[in-house]
């Protein structure tokens, strides 16, 4: 048997970068220490940041956040529901998202065994707005088919109290918008 020379070109494609990465053990993640507080705006700062990093010595102080809507505030006061909300936050977000990010080549998901959960985006990214005619999208559920929304949440293991709280708060906010009021009026007239 004749052995090819060491410098011969191989017909085998090199492994993808994510395969190589998955075979390597990741370095342990060390959370940063937030051990400073800005004297002007009271923001927590990393040890490596200067006191002027956040607000430029008080010249750009942002106003405090508005309080949470009433239903969400009640969820945070209920410890078991708050823990459930934290555990299922991505799923809950997806149940109510009306827009998203698309990619031309897809997503590469990494195995949880290879380190922290991660995904790589390949190709070009673009924003997309969900189409209400597709019954599997959350905007269709929110505007036209509430029972399907609840059914999907149940399938995904999201607590019904959380779904109702988010719906109530969204409706409270969105009813101030005349376009949403008009869409709800049309939804009550037109059936698909």
Average pLDDT score over the chain: 77
Please compute the mean of the pLDDT values over residues 42-59 and round it to a whole number. Answer: 83
pLDDT single digits (tens) 87-100: 888 888 888 877 77
- Classify residue 134 by burial, with Cβ atoms within 10 Å: 0-12, 13-18, 19+: exposed
Q: Which of 45-54, 82-91, 139-148 has the lowest mean pLDDT?
A: 139-148
Read off the tokens for 58: 């008080």
Residue found under tokens 């590469």: 108
Q: Give me the pLDDT at residue 96, please.
A: 80
Please compute the mean of the pLDDT values over residues 162-186 and round it to a whole number. Answer: 75
pTM for this prediction:
0.53
pLDDT value at 192 more than 80 = no
pLDDT single digits (tens) 95-123: 887 777 788 888 777 776 666 667 788 88
Question: Do residues 163 and 150 touch, judged by C-beta distance below 8 A?
Answer: yes
Q: Give me the pLDDT at residue 18, please.
A: 65
Q: Give me the pLDDT at residue 163, please.
A: 87
Q: What DSSP line would sit under 28-63, residue for residue?
A: PP-PPP--EE-TTT--EE-TTS-TTTTTTTTTSPPP
- What confidence tier does 190 reach under pLDDT thresholds 50, 70, 90? low
pLDDT value at 170 more than 60 = yes
Q: Give me the pLDDT at residue 7, please.
A: 53
Q: Give me the pLDDT at residue 157, please.
A: 92
Q: Give me the pLDDT at residue 48, please.
A: 81
């Amino acid at each position: 048997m004749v052995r090819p020379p060491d410098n011969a070109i191989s017909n085998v494609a090199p492994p993808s970068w994510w395969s190589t990465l998955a075979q390597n053990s990741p370095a342990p993640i060390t959370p940063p220490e937030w051990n400073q507080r800005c004297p002007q705006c009271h923001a927590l700062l990393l040890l490596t940041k200067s006191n002027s990093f956040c607000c430029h010595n008080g010249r750009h102080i942002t106003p405090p956040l508005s309080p949470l809507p009433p239903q969400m505030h009640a969820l945070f006061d209920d410890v078991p529901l708050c823990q459930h909300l934290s555990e299922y936050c991505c799923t809950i977000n997806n149940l109510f998202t009306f827009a998203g990010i698309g990619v031309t080549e897809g997503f590469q998901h990494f195995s949880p065994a290879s380190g922290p959960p991660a995904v790589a985006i390949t190709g070009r990214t673009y924003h997309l707005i969900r189409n209400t005619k597709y019954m599997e999208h959350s905007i269709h559920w929110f505007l036209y088919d509430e029972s399907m929304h609840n059914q999907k949440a149940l399938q995904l293991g999201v607590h019904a109290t959380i779904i109702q709280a988010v719906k109530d708060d969204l409706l409270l906010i969105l009813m101030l918008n005349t376009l949403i009021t008009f869409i709800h009026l049309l939804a009550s007239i037109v059936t698909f």
